[in-house]
Structures are given as structure tokens and as C-alpha cells.
A and B are shown apart, each in its own frame.
Chain A
Amino acid sequence: MSTRSRTDRPTLRVDRVACTGHGVCATLLPGSIRLDEWGYPVVLTAAEDGVDDGDEARAAAVRWCPALALYADRSS
């Protein structure tokens, strides 16, 4: 991974029941979220070539999710 360590950050998770596949997250976080063939987000880990999109973009993606489905999991 080229960017600084992300281990101190909460993991981004998707509430799959709430998510209806608007795709805003994938637009705001192009390095770490892609959409599957049906338009639902896949959160990429570093091992899956996920690239850090930065704190601001992460916060924006959580804030602007129309379904309030994207959240930062502080328990992990």
C-alpha cells in the first residue's frame, strides 16, 4: 500500500438492509468502493487493491449516503 496506514481508522461498512444501491459512495470513494454488477457497493480492502480516498472523502461519503447505509464501524 502506498498511502499511510489505515489501521487506526474505523472500517467503512454498509448496512446491507438499508442500502438500495444509489452508488454515491462509489463516486465519492473511487479508490476503495466499487459497484457490483447490480449496482451495490463492494468495500475494497487493501488486499483487494483498495486505495485510500482520504478522511474528508470518507466523511463525505458517510454523510451523503442517501439511504444512511454507509457507516464507520468504530468497534473494529
Chain B
Amino acid sequence: MNLVDVLEQSGLTGRGGAAFSTATKVRAAHEHGAGLLVNACDGEIGAVKDAFVVEHHLPELVRGATLVAGTRVRYAAHRGSATEARLRAAGLDVLAAPARYVSSEETSLISLAQGGLARPMTKRQPFVRGGSDSAGRRITPTVVLNAETVWRIAQVVERPDGAQWFRGHGLPDEPGPRLVAIGGAVPRPGVVETAAGVPLAALLGAAGADPGRTGPVIVGGLGGTVLRPDEAARVTWSRAGLAPLGGAPGPGVVHVLDAQACPVDALAAWFDHAAGESAGQCGPCMFGLPAIASDWHDLADGVRAGGSGSVSSRGARARLARRAESVRGRGACRFPDGVAGLASSALRALSDHLDDHARGQCVPGRTPRSSHEHALAH
């Protein structure tokens, strides 16, 4: 049986965040004679699983990459990272990417590999077919796969009944073992191997956190979703489980905010970071992300303005929600969409905290109203 058929049977999807069918990508790569870039950049905030794969499963990773593209493989890692050093020590062809958020986006890596800057390119068609960038530079066919995905390819192909083994983990429509990095305010941050369908509480517990008594939890990084502590304690870590809250397992990162610190201020730092990580190419991202950060600071500063009242807070929240919506789908890459999602979820999950800020109070460890209701209902 050929590689694409085995991958099709396994149901493997990309572990970098987009969860696109790996079989479909590999088939297209073969049809167009594409070279492979293995993305081991851990570009998302808090991501460490690519480093984990390179540290612990490098021979399998290399075999997986060879299965996909023979000798036409390069390995992308952040310049100066331990992952870069390990890949170089193994004698592999390394593409060193700047340690910026959008530099490890797939089209950024393709651009960098072909002599351009590590910035996203407009996809007028998928670059697995080749094409050109906005300045007209030729781009040869290239496929980008996340390091965990490539490692999983080797597992599926090399294990007896690999596709069946793979489907023995997770959910029917989200099969397979997967790595998750759990960090932030937890006693034992690290990488765990799990599968879709696990309670998020179990992942928090694995990192030594006490579900329900944490601060808010961000699932999926800078392009992720903020959950209230009570939501994080009862939600299932899967596409279906997180979708009602606007989330997805995404790139496999879970970040726990400090229950003793103000989550509104914590998120302000995330939005500031996002604004600074725009590549500055696409207008809606270049102007929209700083505007979102600024709107969030206005909400946070309600406390320092002595509580300018709920009316202006409502107005500021509506403006932020509108701006978040307005940047969606209007970048070359999905970065603005991701930050818009984070902003919308933060408005929802931190609504009680934002009310406090509007009243000129800030109570970091306050229990949200809804979790009182939740407790009363039991």
C-alpha cells in the first residue's frame, strides 16, 4: 500500500494548528514534485513540542521526512534554539528562521528557503503547486509539514497495522496520539502525549494544576481562546468540545494564567506582543492589531481612570469586538484571524473582570459569577 493511502486510512491531520489532512497534502506534494520543509520552529507562544520531537524522536522524524520527499528535505528551526543545534549536530539541512511569530508561518518559511524574507506570502494558489510572491518572484513547489506531523507519518507507516494503531487513539474524527505543551502558572510545565477527547482538566492535572482553581486558561496560544477557570475544568480537549467556546486544540498548547494576578493585565501583555509581531505587510493586521491592543488597554485602564462607568466600557468593548471582526480573513496569513479570535474570547471569558475594571476595581482571584451558578446547580 502506498504512503498516501496509509495516511488517508490513519486520518492524520497537521499538528501545527490548521489540522488539514496530511494525506491530501502529501498527495499534492507528490503530484507537483514538491520539496519538503519540516517546521520545527515551535512558533506559537508556549509551544515546545517540536523541540520535544527533535530531542526524543529524531531518527523517526528523519525517516518520516524521507518517506514524504526523499532527499529534498530541509528542517526549519528558530535561529539560536536548542532545536537548531540538535538538527545541525545530526548533519541535517537546517533552515534557520528568525525567532518571530509569523516567521514560522508556512509561507514565511517557503519565502525564506527560496531567498526571500521570512514573511508570509499571499497564497494566490497553494505553494505546493508553486507560484509567485507579490513581487513576482518565482516560488518552486514546496510543502510544509509540522515536525510532530512528520514524526506521526513514520509511526503510522512503520508500525504493524499503523493506521489502525493510530485510530486506536483519540476520537473517530480526530484520531491519533498528540503532543500538548502545558505551561504558565502550573507546578510542572511540560509536554504530555495525549489524544483528542481527553478532559482539559486531566491535562491541567498532569501539569500539577488544580482544575477550577487556576486562573483563566488560554488554549491554542496567541491565535487561541481564553477559557474561564470553571470552563477549563469541565471542557473536553477536542475540536467538538472547544468549538462552542470558539476554540480548537490548534497547535497543542495550553497556557494557564496566574490565579493571583489580574487576567485583564495579563491579556494586555499578550495583545501588545501580538501587535509587535505583525510582519507589517498587510494593512488590516499592521493597523488592526495595535488598535485591538489599544482598545484592550482602554478597558484595563478603566480601573486607573477611577471607573469611568459601564456605558463607556460597553462602548469600548463593542469597538474592540467590531475591530476584531474587521481584521478576520484580511491578512496574507491567518495571524490577524487568530488574534481576533483571542480578543473575542477574552471579551467573553473575562467579562466579569472587565466589569470590575469599569467600576474601578480589580479583583484578580475573584470567582466569576457563572461559576457560582455552576456550583449552585450541583
Contact = CB atoms under 8 A, between A and B. Distances in A.
A71 B330 CA distance: 14
B225 to A, nearest CB: 24
B306 interface: no
Interface residues of A, number: 18
Interface stretch (B4-12, B117-125, B173-181, B216-224): B117-125
A20 B129 CA distance: 27
B284 interface: yes
B313 to A, nearest CB: 21
B283 A15 contact: no
B125 A75 contact: yes
Interface string A20-40: 110000000000000011111
Interface string B53-86: 0000000000000000000000000000000000
Contacts, number: 49
B121 A40 contact: no
Given A17-B282, A17-B332, A39-B283, 4 more contacts: A16-B281, A16-B331, A17-B281, A36-B283
Interface of B: 119-122, 124-125, 133-134, 281-285, 287-288, 326, 330-332
28 contacts: A14-B330, A15-B122, A15-B124, A16-B122, A16-B281, A16-B282, A16-B283, A16-B284, A16-B285, A16-B331, A17-B120, A17-B121, A17-B122, A17-B134, A17-B282, A17-B332, A18-B134, A19-B282, A19-B283, A21-B283, A36-B283, A36-B284, A37-B287, A37-B326, A40-B283, A40-B284, A40-B287, A75-B125
